[in-house]
Amino acid sequence: MSIVLLRLGHRIFRDQRMTTHCALTARAFGCEKMIYSGEKDSEMEKSIEDVAKRWGGDFKVLYEKNWKKVVNSFPGKKVLLTMYGVNLPNIIEKIRPIKDLLVIVGSEKVPADIYDMIDYQIAVSLQPHSEVAALAVFLDWYFQGKELEKEFNNAKIKIIPQEKGKKTILME
Ligand code: SAM
């Protein structure tokens, strides 16, 4: 199984937090990696790499200027998340059995070419909101909540859940 996020059109000044949160959400909720296009952002890449080093797992962030190359070369099915798509509840049963998915989110207006390159366009409600929310809800419906119990190997730090307060242990 390979669930990969493609984040289109990253703009360092405008999108740094949102793209970082796309990566953190993708990592926490079951994606193998995030590929992003637009402006190369080494600082953002490093911040995600540091999270993965401390909290474990093999999540990667990769830059690819040519987003079409990513879409055309992906061996599985391609899903564009957009408020104009088929609403998630009406298509998830068709999507869940697909094991290799490229999940695509925009930042600015997505390039019109993409519509002929994808297999599905899926809405997470028919209202405008955020790529982070759309990604999180899509992944939760796809994994049916199992992503919330995912274990991350080689973690240097782990949380011990508390009813009140915070507790972590170092796994050195
Ligand atoms: N300003 C851009 C435009 O007008 O096209 C879109 C901004 S929107 C916040 C950025 C991304 O969030 C979209 O490309 C889409 O991937 C995602 N998104 C926002 N609302 C969504 C929804 N209801 N369902 C699925 N994806 C959504």
- Residue 1 pLDDT: 85
Identify the CATH assignment for 2-171 out of 3.40.1280.10, 3.20.20.140, 2.60.60.20, 2.70.98.60. 3.40.1280.10
Distance between Cα 52 and ligand 1 center (Å) = 26
Task: Choose one of 80, 105, 109, 139 to mutate for the ligand 1 pocket test, by most ligand atoms within 8 angstroms of C-beta.
Answer: 105
Q: Which residues of the chain have pLDDT under 70?
A: 172
Question: Residue by residue, what is the 3-state secondary structure of 84-153?
Answer: EEEEHHHCHHHHCCCCEEEEEECCCCCCHHHHHCCCEEEECCCCCCCHHHHHHHHHHHHHCCHHHHCCCC
For the CA of 135, the nearest atom of ligand 1 = 26
Domain ranges of the chain: 2-171
Q: Measured from the CA of 128, which atom of ligand 1 is nearest?
A: 20
The reported pLDDT for the residue numbered 108 is: 84
Determine the pLDDT at residue 83. 97
Question: Of the residues 79, 82, 118, 137, which should be mutated to test ligand 1's pocket, given the most ligand atoms within 8 Å of the CB?
Answer: 82
Within 8 A by CB and 6+ apart from 60, the residues are 32, 33, 34, 52
165 touches ligand 1 (CB under 6 Å): no
Average pLDDT, the chain: 97
pLDDT of residue 171: 86
Residue 106 C-alpha to ligand 1 middle, in angstroms?
6
One-letter amino acid of 131: E
